[in-house]
Structure formats: structure tokens, C-alpha cells
Amino acid sequence: MRVWAVANQKGGVGKTTTTVALGSLIAAQGKRTLLVDMDPHASLSGYIGVEGGAQGSVYDLFGAGGSAASVSSLVHDTAYDHLFVLPASAAMITLDRQVGTRAGMGLVVKQALAAVADEFDQVLIDCPPTLGVLMVNALAASDRLLVPTQTEALALAGLERMLRSLGMIERSRGRPLPRTIVPTMFDARTHASRACLEQLREQYGDVVSQAVIPTDTQIREASAAGVPLASWPAARRGGLAYRQLLEELQALPADVMAEAAA
């Protein structure tokens, strides 16, 4: 089982879009794919049409009010083959206050996922934009971090903040977390977009994916319609870019090694 977290401490950069797009493409390869919605705003759950709330969500893994629930008891089927969702709920906002300082709370999600390691081939975790117990859990549970980064000047500050937080988390987990920066909402016609991409490549080199996700209004249309990209053929440019990104990620040596060791 591979686990990828999708995170950036800036909102609106394409985290949820990237999680659903990659997840739907991996599921279409016939791999059992679990999308974990770690954002209390539950936009991924809403996108896929799955309600958390009273029926249970990531919140229940933490056992804040009693015993902790298992991943299996919280996973929902979706309308798409091989694609499953562990939804979010608004209650997750209170987790930092309730369990944030309790010892061992950083590994809750990692341990919960370990119990279903044989049930899923791929897990994708959509993170909230805030650094707290949810983000810490997501990064501790993952073997790769994807950082969608909007190709505009202001986005670079958010990226740097995210990478600083990651450094902190790596020190506490005692081993590095391989990362891939994914340029998103690229518009080749604007100077700002081109300059930003150039700066990203200059500053971060190979950590930046070769695949660049273009601004494609069909991506917005697909999410408004609640349809994952793999099932929305009109998003030709966006779909192609996400396919290229997936190919690149699945070929990465670190992941090949992780799979061989599993």
C-alpha cells in the first residue's frame, strides 16, 4: 500500500482537485484506492458526494470521546469502481483542542491505515491548509508528500511555509519524507505564470514535477458537477497533465523501492 499526502498551507492551490484527479486515475487502473478527507471543510467528501457527519468521519479515528473507530467501519463506496472515501466532518475542527496535546496522537492515522494495508493499493490524503494534529497525522502516515503550488508569485511564500513545517515534522518522525512539488493552474500566456514556474525549477530542481497542471476551466466544471477527472473527458488538457503526473509519480525510484520492500 502506498500512501501519498497532498498538502500546502495555502488554500485554493489545487490540493483537493489533485487528490481526486490522481485518485480517480489510479482507481481507473484497477487499483483499490482510498481517498482520505482530512480537511474539516470536507470539500473532497462533497466533491465525491459522500457525507461524513453523523455517519462517521476521520474524527472518529481519534476516539476523542471514547473508543476509536476503525478505518473499515468508516469507509464509503463511491459511484466509481475501486474508488473509496473516508470522509471528513466539521467536528474535526475541534480535534486540536481535544487531543492535540495528548501523547501518541500524531500517529493515529498511520496506525489506523496500517490495519487496512492489505485492503487498499493506494491511499491519498487531502490535507487541511493549517498545521495541526490533522496535518501532522497525514504527514506521519505518508511515504510521499505532494505539494500543489499555484504558479503565481504569492504562492511561493505558501510553499516555503509548507516546507518549513515539513522540516519540523521530519525531525520528529526521524526520517525524511520524499516530496514532489506540483505546479498547478499554469497559464503559459501570462508572464507571471512562466516566471513562477522558472523560479520553482531553479530553486527546487528535481523536486518539481515535469508535469505541469494547466488552468483548465473544465477542471472547475468537473468539480462543480461532482465528477472526478478520469470520468470527465472534456478536461482534455487537465486530464492529460494529471495522467503525466501520475506516470511520473508511479515511476519514482523511492516508491519502486518501497513496493519491492513491501
Nearer to ligand ADP, 224 or 261 (CB): 224
- Restricted to residues 24-43, the positions that interact with Mg ion (CB under 5 A) are 43
Q: Which of ligand ADP, Mg ion, none does residue 184 bind to, with CB < 5 to 8 Å depending on kind?
A: ligand ADP
State which residue has the least CB distance to Mg ion.
Answer: 16
Shortest distance (Å) from residue 107 CB to ligand ADP = 25
d(CA 240, CA 214): 10
Question: From the CB of residue 188, how many other CB atoms can be counted at a distance below 10 Å?
Answer: 11
Q: Per CB under 5 A, which of residues 40..59 are in contact with Mg ion?
A: 43
**DSSP reduced 3-state for 22:** helix
Contact between 213 and 184 under an 8 Å Cβ cutoff? The reply is yes
Q: Which residues bind ligand ADP (CB under 6 A)?
A: 11-17, 43, 184-185, 213, 215-217, 219-220, 223, 238
The number of C-alpha atoms within 13 Å of 23 and in the hemisphere containing its C-beta is 33
The span from the CA of 144 to the CA of 257, in Å, is 13
Q: Is 184 in the site for Mg ion (CB under 5 A)?
A: no
Q: Exposed, middle or buried: residue 205 (CB in 10 Å: 0-12, 13-18, 19+)?
A: exposed
Whichever of 11 and 100 has its CB closer to ligand ADP, that residue is: 11
Q: What angle do CA 254, 144, 157 make, to 5 degrees?
A: 125
Could you tell me the smallest distance in angstroms from the CB atom of residue 23 to ligand ADP? 12
Determine the distance from the C-alpha atom of residue 56 to the mean position of all C-alpha atoms in its chain, rounded to a whole number: 20
Q: State the nearest-atom distance from the C-beta of 218 to ligand ADP, in Å.
A: 8
Q: Is 107 helix (H, G, I), strand (E, B) or coil?
A: helix
Tell me which of Mg ion, ligand ADP, none is bound by residue 12, counting a contact when its beta carbon lies within the kind-specific cut-off of 5 to 8 angstroms: ligand ADP
30 or 226: CB nearest ligand ADP: 226
Among 8, 16, 18, 142, binds Mg ion (CB under 5 A): 16
Q: Which does 220 bind (CB under 5 to 8 A by kind): ligand ADP, Mg ion, none?
A: ligand ADP
Given a contact cutoff of 8 angstroms between Cβ atoms, the answer to whether 13 and 149 are in contact is yes
Nearer to ligand ADP, 211 or 219 (CB): 219
Q: How far is the CB of 140 from ligand ADP (least distance, A)?
A: 20
- What's the rounded Cα separation, in Å, for the pair 32 and 59? 23
d(CA 252, CA 141): 19
Q: How far apart are the first and last CA of the chain?
A: 8
Nearer of residues 14 and 228 to ligand ADP, judged by Cβ? 14
Measured from the CB atom, is 34 or 147 closer to ligand ADP? 147
In the complex, which residues of this chain contact Mg ion (CB under 5 A)? 15-16, 43
